[in-house]
Amino acid sequence: MISNLTMIAVRPEEVWLSWLKSEWDSSRFDHVRDTIIDPFKNDEIVLKTLRLEGKRHFLIDKIPDDTTWYKCNINSHDLKWSSIIPSKEWTERFPDSIMLGNAVTKLKLDKNLHNKINLIIGNEHKTNFELVLLSKTGSDFYTILEGNHRALALMKIANKVIDVYVGFSPNMDKSEWYSKKYV
């Protein structure tokens, strides 16, 4: 649970735009960077770029249709109560729990992940730390849909206030991204 949220309602397209901006420079977009002149031009191009070229449709399509989106500021230490998306990559690394607070204590056991997190911290001034979270209600736990690596980096940076996008749905527990199985 994250305390003291001040929420501003936003359209889903604003969430997708933030997501695309955080990933645009990654190798995932190397094959389309020359063909899409301005990926941030309008909502349709943002969603198309993220879903098709970014191969993120499998994440977006599993979010309940009745999800309402909000932007809020949180303190990075509140993220310890969030879970990492229950994907194979993360559950293999952290089989006993995918709560962010537990994962950060085990970082040194995974040298590649540890190095990646330290690289993010080293580029803190250039990193977009906006995360995308999912929750059933404001008093339930949160799953990090987008930004797992940056969230781990934030856990190592003490008390940083960040913007996050949170999607709430009473049907969130039907989404495989919002699983309490590993919590």
Question: What are the tens digits of pLDDT across the range 21-57?
Answer: 777 666 666 666 666 666 666 656 666 666 555 566 6
Classified as helix, coil or strand, 20 is: helix
Query: pTM of the full predicted structure?
Result: 0.80
Closest CA to 2 of 157, 171, 163: 163
What six digits make up the tokens of 169? 């749905």
pLDDT, tens digit, 9 for 90 and up, residues 95-149: 766 788 878 777 777 888 888 888 888 888 777 788 999 999 877 888 888 888 8
Domains detected in the chain: 8-62 (no CATH), 67-172 (3.90.1530)
